[in-house]
Amino acid sequence: MDLSNENVLHIHKDGVEYLQFKKLLAYQDIINHAYSLGIDKNYRTAKANKEKLKQETYEKALRDYENLCKAIHSKVEHLVKTNQEHTDEVKIAKEKINKTEPDFNLEQYARTDGLVTKQKDIMLATTNADCILLLFFDPEKRVIANTHSGWRGTLQRISVKTVQKMKQEFNCKAEDIICCLCPSIRKCHFEVEKEVKESFEKEFQDLKNLEEIIEETVSNEKWHIDTIKINELILQKEGLKPENIIDSGICSVCQSDCIHSYRIEKQGYGLNTALIELK
C-alpha cells in the first residue's frame, strides 16, 4: 500500500519505509526528517513505567533507529529523545549528552514531551501509537522542534507551548513556522467517554464550530473528537499561517497494518517514530 498523498511521500529505501512531508522536503538542504512505517519495526526504548527493556528488545529498537537514520543520511548517535509522559513540558536540547550513542532514557528529559533546538546534528525524536506527533521548522531562524501530543497533551495545548518556546528562546515568529502533523488516530476512531468530552468542551469553548469537532456517536453514550482540527485551530490562534500547518491526513487506526495503534494492538503495542534534524 502506498500512503502518499498531496502532503506526504511514502518512501521505500533499503528495506525501510517512511513518510516525508513535501513541504519540508523543499528545505532538504537544511533539514532531515521522517516518520517511520511498518509494524515489524518498534522504536520503544523503555517500558511505559520506565523499566528497562530486555537487552535484545532494546538492541532491536536501536537497529530500527539506525536503519531509519541511515536511510535519510543521518547517524543514530545524533538522536535525542524525550521520555514522554503526556505532560506539557517542552525543553531545549542544547547539546548531545552522549557523544557516541543516542540520548535515550535520560533523566534530563524525564517528564518531557517536546524538544526544541537550533543545534545542527541533533536529531529530535518522538514516538507514538495513535497520539499526534508534530514536527516544527522555522526556516528563517533555522530552529526545529518535535512534540508529542496525545489527548492529554492536546488538552494542555502543548503544541502552542512549543511555538511559544520557539518564540521566547530563539525569537521565532509564528508566521514563519511550519508545523507538520504525523499519522495519528483521527476523529473517525477517537471515541471517548463523557468525562473526557466535557474536559475538551471546557478547555476549547473559545473555538468556533465546536459541535463539529466534538460529535456524539449514534449510541448517544460516547463522543468522537477531532484532535487534529483542535491543534490546527489553536496553532492558527497562536499565529501560524493555515498554509503552514500540514496534515498527513493518515489515521493510525485505519492504517494499522503498517502503523502502530494502541487502540488496535492493546497491551504490548509497538511505537512508530518521528525524526527531525538540522543538517
Contact between 45 and 103 (Cβ < 8 Å): no
Whether 207 is in a domain gets the answer no
- Residue count of the chain: 279
Give tens-digit pLDDT for 105-154: 999 999 999 999 999 999 999 999 999 999 999 999 999 999 999 999 99
Task: Report which of 133, 231, 139, 135 is spatially closest to residue 187, judged by C-alpha positions.
Answer: 231
The answer to whether position 217 is within a domain reads no
Confirm whether 181 is domain-assigned.
yes
pLDDT tens across 115-126, in order?
999 999 999 999
Segment 203-242, tens digit of pLDDT: 999 999 999 999 998 877 899 999 999 999 999 999 999 9
pLDDT digits (tens, 9 = 90+) for 4-61: 999 999 999 989 999 999 999 999 999 999 999 999 999 999 987 677 899 999 999 9
Q: Looking at residue 41, what is its pLDDT?
A: 97
pLDDT at 246 over 90: yes
Tell me how many degrees the CA angle 74-274-227 measures, rounded to the nearest 5: 160
The residue segments making up the domain with residue 51 are 8-185+242-278
Q: How far is CA 141 from the centre of its chain?
A: 21
What is the spatial distance between Cα 181 and Cα 245, in angstroms, rounded to a whole number? 8
In a domain, 194, yes or no: no
CA angle 24, 103, 118 (to 5 degrees): 40
Mean pLDDT of 185-197: 96
Domain of 47, CATH number, reads: 3.60.140.10
Overall domain count for the chain? 1
So what's the pLDDT on residue 75?
A: 97
